[in-house]
Homo-oligomer: A and B are copies of this chain.
Amino acid sequence: MKICKVPGGVTTPKGFKAACCAAGIKYQGRTDMAMIVSAAPCAVAGTFTTNKVKAAPVLWDMDVVYKNKSAQAVVVNAGIANAATGKTGLDICKQTADFAGATLGIPAGSVLLGSTGVIGPNLPLDRIQAGVKTMAGTLSDTLEAGTAASKAIMTTDTVNKEFAVEFELPAANGSGSVTVHMGGMSKGSGMIHPNMCTMLGYVTTDCLIDQALLQKALSAIVPDTFNMITVDGDTSTNDTLLVLANGMAGNAPIADTDESYAIFCEALFSICRDLAVKMAEDGEGATHLLEMRVYNADTKENARTLAKSVVGSSLVKAMVFGKDANCGRILCALGYAGPDFDPAKIEVHLHGEKDTLCFYENGCIQAFDEEKALKILSEKAVRFSCNMNMGDQEATAWGCDLTYDYVKINGDYRT
């Protein structure tokens, strides 16, 4: 199986166009709305926040994904989350979808919505509709249009996040293979602790795949990608991840969990993992990416729980920011994670680009070369691993360090 990275994002697959505009929702002088439109109706799959307080656009999209199972456009805004807005928020969703559907000549029920920003305020419907009209007139299938869309949905993000891949699948006409494309964009920097999926993420593909299999693939992949990152332990009210497959690549339809499905899953995993890791790396105020790999665990679920506990620990995060090898904190975070283990049997390592350092084994923190540790902790990506010596399951979690800037950004977010 060969999944090749290629330039671009959501407009890389055939038949997808994007646009963005400065609608003045909250920010001035920057784009804050984005739209993705497919030339053909798409099979759609989605995963959504498990927060009991779900934003209005999340409830709207759940309806589209679970009932209609087909969609053709996505309209997203940054600045206001349209969460905790009651019936008014739901009305605004309906009117936005109605307007976008009429403007694009597609059913309102095939328009997906996404909002991110402050919880509480109502969206200005007039500006949203003006934005939809503007974007409908400037849709483009260039890679630049996809990139511009990925920038328009940013809030406290410092970089836009998009990835694209291509892979070969058997052709529909039975002779040889065709190239299938997949691209994605996401935003997310704070309130990141996905539980089902994270923040806003949109993946497009020209692959022809059965809708139920598309959802199956997405649901299988999210627990090891988006759900394995954390910035601050706060699971958002707006988390939404959507995949749209318009079938325009010309591949033989994927209708079973066969080899083509496996290749498709590998591609989707690659896009989801790369977007997720980039979100962790761009966590609010972050100066380091933090990675924790737990291996030889007894169960997959325990491996995930242990790995997430370490990257979520405030004390581990602050230690990485301070480049201070106070590695007992990793032990502490493994210990309170929940899964049972024998502290005398595990081994914990710190990994740099070139160096590896064992700082815990046989039940004791080991003496280690402080200078070497400082060198590793000075790298942009700080990686830890733990050998549980209990079985053959593994998981990796990603996070970032806790910095003064995280406090600054979140102590004064609304201003």
Contacts and interface: CB of A to CB of B under 8 A. Distances in A.
Interface of A: 49-54, 81, 83-88, 118-121, 190-191, 193, 195, 232-237, 312-315, 318-319, 321-322, 324, 326-329, 331-337, 339-341, 343-344, 360, 362-365, 402-404, 406-415
A232 B407 CA distance: 14
Contacts of A331: 53, 83-84, 119, 237
Contacts of A81: 328
A88 B51 CA distance: 46
A407 B119 CA distance: 26
A84 B336 contact: no
Contact of A334 (B53, B315, B403, B411): B53
A365 B119 contact: yes
A343 B411 contact: no
B86 A233 contact: no
Contact of A237 (B332, B344, B360, B415): B332
B410 A365 contact: no
B414 A329 contact: no
A407 B233 contact: no
Most interface-central of A50, A120, A337, A414 (chain B CB within 10 A): A120
A51 B341 CA distance: 11
B412 A335 contact: no
A53 B343 contact: yes
Given A84-B365, A85-B365, A404-B404, 4 more contacts: A52-B337, A52-B343, A53-B332, A86-B344
Contacts of A318: 406-407, 409-411
6 contacts: A54-B343, A119-B328, A233-B312, A233-B314, A234-B314, A319-B411
Most interface-central of A51, A324, A334, A335 (chain B CB within 10 A): A335
A328 B234 contact: no
A52 B88 CA distance: 48
Contacts of A326: 118-119, 413-414
A332 to B, nearest CB: 5
A322 B86 CA distance: 27
Contacts of A52: 334-337, 339-341, 343
